[in-house]
Amino acid sequence: MTRRPRLLLADDHPLFLEGVRRFLENKYEVVGTVADGQALITAAQQLRPDVIVVDISMPEMNGLAAAQILGKTVPSAKFIVLSVHSDQAYVSEAFRVGVKGYVSKRAAAAELLTAIKQVLEGRTYVTPLVALNTPVAAKDAKRLTLRQLEILRLVAEGYQNKEIAQLLKISVKTVEFHKTRIMSELDIHTPAGLTRYAIDHGIAAA
């Protein structure tokens, strides 16, 4: 009997995670689910899955940072991002750290099956929704680092500097430094402007 590919799922929204698990376990062996980046690293090293389906925005450590670490410690695992973020900057950073597939959470469920199949066959996959949602101004976001994209998202979601520092486990001064750099890079100098930019570019939800 042919062994079914082993999948590990990572997302910090329990209901969504459970729905994805139920959908995928008809075709694959789902060996585990986790809700944060640190738990993902531990589980992946123990379970050695074939494919890891991961969200980007998670507590403790974001999905791309975890993918970069696991690319060295569990190199046989192939990563697929399943995210609400549709900005090209996220996609570029994902593939830079070794991710093989990128699927939008707004896509039809069957698209995730397509991505997993292609990645298992050694190919890459990018959701058409990302390609369709690439405004000209998205080139600006490519100049931002992953950390700056995280901070921009949290600013747009209404978090204050101290709260952002606590969530990302960095100092308030570091948050302030990154916000200054973000404003300089994008030539936007108000919180409202940053929020509008983040929503328009799929970095934060409306």
Residues 51-87 pLDDT 10s:
999 999 888 888 988 999 999 999 999 999 999 887 7
Strand pairing of 51-54 and 29-34? unpaired
Contact between 147 and 178 under an 8 Å Cβ cutoff? The reply is yes
Residues 6-51 pLDDT 10s:
999 999 999 999 999 999 998 999 999 999 999 999 999 999 999 9
Residues 125-174 pLDDT 10s:
988 766 544 443 444 455 777 788 888 888 888 889 999 888 888 899 99
Q: Where are the domains of the chain?
A: 6-132, 138-200
Residues 106, 103: Cα–Cα separation, whole Å: 8
Please list, in sequence order, all residues whose beta carbon lies within 8 angstroms of the beta carbon of residue 128, skipping any fewer than 6 positions away: 107
- How is domain 138-200 classified at the CATH fold level? Arc Repressor Mutant, subunit A (1.10.10)
With respect to CATH, is domain 6-132 assigned 3.40.190.10?
Answer: no
Backbone φ, ψ for residue 42 (5° rounding)? -60, -45
Residues 133, 138: Cα–Cα separation, whole Å: 9
State the DSSP code for 6. Answer: E
Angle at the Cα of 65 from the Cα atoms of 60 and 70, rounded to 5 degrees: 105
Return the pLDDT at 130. Answer: 67
Structure tokens at 156: 């747009």
Please list, in sequence order, all residues whose beta carbon lies within 8 angstroms of the beta carbon of residue 37, skipping any fewer than 6 positions away: 10, 58, 59, 60, 61, 62, 63, 65, 66
Bridge partners (DSSP) of residue 29 are 6
Residues 175, 170: Cα–Cα separation, whole Å: 7
